[in-house]
Structure 1
Amino acid sequence: MAIPKFPSVKQSFHVELKKRINDYFETSGKSVTGNKQLFIKAGVLFTAFLGLYIHLVFFTPSTLWAVLECVILGLVVAGIGFNIMHDGAHGSFSKYKWVNNVAAFSLNLLGGSSFMWNVKHNVIHHAYTNIDGVDDDIDIQPWMRMSSTQPKLKMHKYQHFYFWFLYSMLYILWVFVLDYQKYFKRKIGDMPLKKMTAWDHIVFWGFKAIYLFLFFLVPFYTVGFVPTIIGFLIFSVIAGFILSIVFQLAHTVEHTHFPVPHDESGKLDDEWAIHQLKTTANFAPKNKLISWLVGGLNYQIEHHLFPKISHVHYPAIRKIIKQACSEFNVPYTEYKKMSHAVISHVLFLKQMGRA
Structure 2
Amino acid sequence: MAIPKFPSVPNSFHAELKKRISEYFEEVGKSQTGNYSLFMKAVILMVSLSFVYIHLVFFTPNAFWCIIESAVMGCLISAIGFNVMHDGAHGSFSKYKWVNHIAAFSLNILGGNSFMWNMKHNVIHHAFTNVDGVDDDIDAQPWLRMSATQKKYKMHKYQHLYFWFFYSLLYFFWIFVLDYQKYFKSKVGTMQLKKMSLSDHLVFWGFKLFHAFLFIGLPIYMVGFTDWLISFLIVTLVAGFVLSIVFQLAHTVEHTSFPMPNESTGKLDDEWAIHQLKTTANFATKNKVVSWLVGGLNFQIEHHLFPKISHVHYPAISKIIKQACEEYGIKYIEYTKVRYAVASHVSFLRHVGRA
Structure 1 length-normalised TM: 1.00
Equivalents in 2 of 1:84, 1:100: separation in Å? 9
> Match of 1:348?
348
| TM superposition shift of 1:15 | 0.3
Letter in 2 for 1:39: F
**2:6 alignment partner, SS class:** coil
> Match of 1:323?
323
> Match of 2:219?
219
Equivalents in 2 of 1:220, 1:320: separation in Å? 52
Percent identity over the alignment? 70
> Match of 1:145?
145
> Match of 1:136?
136
Equivalents in 1 of 2:216, 2:304: separation in Å? 36
| TM superposition shift of 1:308 | 0.1
**1:320 alignment partner, SS class:** helix
> Match of 2:22?
22
Letter in 2 for 1:21: I
Equivalents in 2 of 1:24, 1:222: separation in Å? 53
| TM superposition shift of 1:239 | 0.6
> Match of 2:229?
229
**2:20 alignment partner, SS class:** helix
> Match of 2:5?
5
Structure 2 length-normalised TM: 1.00
| TM superposition shift of 1:331 | 1.0
**1:246 alignment partner, SS class:** helix
Q: How does 1:199-278 map to 2 (within 5 A)?
A: 199-278=199-278
Q: How does 1:31-42 map to 2 (within 5 A)?
A: 31-42=31-42
| TM superposition shift of 1:263 | 0.5
**How many pairs align?**
355
| TM superposition shift of 1:11 | 2.1
Letter in 2 for 1:91: G
> Match of 2:73?
73
> Match of 1:170?
170
Equivalents in 1 of 2:265, 2:26: separation in Å? 40
Over residues 32-76 of structure 1, what are the superposed CA-to-partner deviations in whole Å (9 max), with x where a residue is unaligned? 000010000000000001101111001111111111111111110
**What is the RMSD computed on CA atoms of the aligned residues?**
0.5
Equivalents in 2 of 1:196, 1:150: separation in Å? 31
> Match of 1:88?
88
> Match of 2:53?
53
| TM superposition shift of 1:10 | 1.4
> Match of 2:296?
296
> Match of 1:125?
125
Over residues 189-247 of structure 1, what are the superposed CA-to-partner deviations in whole Å (9 max), with x where a residue is unaligned? 11111110111000000000001101111011110000001000011111100000000
Equivalents in 1 of 2:10, 2:40: separation in Å? 44
| TM superposition shift of 1:8 | 0.6
Over residues 135-174 of structure 1, what are the superposed CA-to-partner deviations in whole Å (9 max), with x where a residue is unaligned? 0000000101100110111010000001000000000000
Equivalents in 1 of 2:181, 2:255: separation in Å? 32
